Structure 1
Amino acid sequence: MAELPGKDLARELIDKSRAESRSTPVEALISTVRERGISRDRAHRLNGRLWTLERMFYYIYGGWGQGLEMNDFPPSVKYLFSKQIVDESTHEMLYLDAQLKKGFVATQKDAFRHPYGHFALDSALAYYVFSLRNLATYPHSIRIAALNLGPKIIELGWMEGLAEAMADTEVKGLFESQFVENRSHVNMGRRVVEEFVSKP
């Protein structure tokens, strides 16, 4: 097999993100959950904020999709991107279903109305969405590298840590059910960077 131009870069990005994945503020939450458990309200808040994060990907990916052109990348790259959109949609629905099943909210409308499901303009989530949305002007390979070999690795670390710390089997299952898709997103990012990004 021919040497892949971005192989070293992909490895470097993956290693850096893995090193950071367990040193974010969420690590304190994971430690607290492991030691003391999580109250019903805190579980609702965590679920609601993660649900809001997943909903924002519709906005991000919509902008990115507008930047794809005919024949700019092989169909396999675009297929993997469309699969990621479906995966994020599934994760969003999992978080909503968990809120309904646990009785945090009675209806989907209630979830949107609840403060834990609101999108606040002056928040870390808003800045994150803004930065990802602005990647729409970059080539698709750069966007995928920026997301899947950065924040997606950190998110996977959070999911693994939370699943390990949770005593509630339903909530644990909510996080564990996302492992396969999130790992596939990291692998997609690795593949795209290895094949299509030759320099940082």
Structure 2
Amino acid sequence: MKKSVLSIALALVFGFSATANSPIEKEKKEVNVSESKITWKGYKVTGSHEGTINLKSGHLEMDGNKLTGGEFVVDMTSITNLDMAAGEGKEKLEGHLKSDDFFGVENHPTAKLVITSAESMNKNSYSVKGDLTIKGKTNPVTFVVSIYENKATATLKVDRAKYDVRYGSGSFFDNLGDKAIYDEFDLVVDLAL
């Protein structure tokens, strides 16, 4: 009898120790892509253009209430322009953005962002580091993510020259004058979780 009580006690102690030391499973919060929105804005010497692009898939990784990672895939074929009325100019710009001069969507139909680390800044905001892949080229990015219940927002500045998006770039061409397009563009991301 003493032997079985001792065996049960040891099993409980070792079983509890093994459970207590097991890593906690991180929760994946899937993004509702149909309710999420990504807006882009590009700048040139004579003005700017803006539009949207669709999220194909995505999730945030959480440890309790703390952001720890995530991965997002963007549908580059969905680039649209919002500041021009429907017609030849709008379609021409959208086609040009999809061409090899810009994002080459025929060969690179998706872009990807992988969150590699997230450091808490306060209750709802994180300083995030990640790897952004556009046109098959991957570069590190840093940005702030804010999470409120079932929504997350972020604003990124992206240097297109790092991704071999050359058209009208002063980083690749001289004497562009007022035809120059600035290398940095903005992405404003609103995620529904």
- For the aligned pair, the TM-score class normalised by the smaller chain equals under 0.3
More strand as a share of residues: 2
Between the two structures, name the one with larger relative contact order (CA 8 Å, sep ≥ 6): 1
Q: TM-score when scaled to structure 2?
A: 0.25
Q: Which has the larger radius of gyration?
A: 2
Higher helix share: 1
